[in-house]
């Protein structure tokens, strides 16, 4: 794991805003735009391109995760192209996955979007020397509105170095920033107030019955 990735993981652990960059990283998703969804009226399409750096390779089980993205409308993804369509399986889960030696901020109450690679080993060098969007594109549809925030993305892959067999295949991970929908999640204080109000309402109802 490179010093850069170690620093990125440490920054994520303390909640700092990180600057995303595709060079010398694992799988990087880049937001291309947010538009009104044609397939889901009233919702919004978040369209991303996905890039694998030339000095990285993905194997079956490598993954990209967008932390705290929120619920995505089915199908997930709404659409996709290239390898993101043919060889990535998309799921949603509340926790993780967490790339090795990193500590991203990950709320246990907001869904993540996880894209897991299912194909044969391929390097960014073979996919056009790390060309932008060499893994293709994908679109996720959010029902929560068109507003967006700086969230985190993470990925797990391997180093690729054709001139150094001992380095090729060694583990690599990455944490950077990415734009995600602004998920509407009640704060703990709000939940406590709501719980108290519901309890009080129950007492009032019981008194009226008495």
Tokens of 102: 């990193």
What's the pLDDT band for 7 if we cut at 50, 70, 90?
very low
pLDDT of 120 over the 70 cut: yes
What's the pLDDT band for 183 if we cut at 50, 70, 90?
low
**How many Cα atoms occupy the beta-carbon half-sphere of 172 within 13 Å?**
26
Q: For 3-185, give the CATH class.
A: mainly beta
The domain limits of the chain are 3-185
CA 100 to chain CA centroid, nearest Å:
15
pLDDT score for 210? 53
Give the separation between CA 4 and CA 192, rounded to whole angstroms. Answer: 41
Compute CA distances 96 → 23, 111, 117, whole Å: 24, 9, 16
Give the separation between CA 13 and CA 7, rounded to whole angstroms. Answer: 10
**What mean pLDDT is predicted for residues 38-45?**
95
More confident residue, 190 or 57: 57
More confident residue, 100 or 114: 114
Give the separation between CA 105 and CA 17, rounded to whole angstroms. Answer: 11
| pTM (two decimals) | 0.77
The residues pairing with 159 across neighbouring beta strands, listed in sequence order, are 56
What's the pLDDT band for 72 if we cut at 50, 70, 90?
very high
């Amino acid at each position: 794991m490179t010093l850069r990735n170690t620093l990125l993981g440490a920054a994520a652990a303390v909640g700092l805003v990180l600057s995303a960059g595709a060079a010398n990283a694992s799988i990087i998703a880049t937001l291309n735009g947010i538009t009104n969804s044609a397939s889901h009226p009233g919702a919004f399409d978040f369209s991303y391109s996905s890039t694998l750096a030339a000095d990285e390779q993905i194997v079956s089980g490598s993954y990209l995760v967008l932390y705290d993205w929120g619920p995505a409308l089915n199908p997930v993804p709404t659409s996709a192209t290239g390898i993101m369509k043919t060889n990535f399986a998309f799921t949603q889960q509340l926790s993780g996955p967490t790339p090795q030696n990193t500590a991203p901020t990950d709320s246990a109450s907001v869904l993540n979007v996880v894209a897991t690679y299912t194909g044969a080993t391929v390097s960014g060098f073979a996919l056009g020397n790390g060309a932008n969007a060499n893994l293709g594109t994908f679109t996720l549809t959010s029902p929560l509105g068109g507003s967006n925030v700086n969230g985190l993305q993470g990925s797990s892959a391997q180093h690729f170095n054709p001139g150094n067999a001992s380095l090729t295949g060694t583990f690599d991970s990455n944490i950077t920033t990415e734009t995600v929908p602004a998920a509407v999640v009640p704060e703990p204080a709000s939940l406590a107030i709501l719980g108290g109000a519901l309890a009080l309402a129950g007492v009032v109802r019981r008194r009226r019955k008495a």
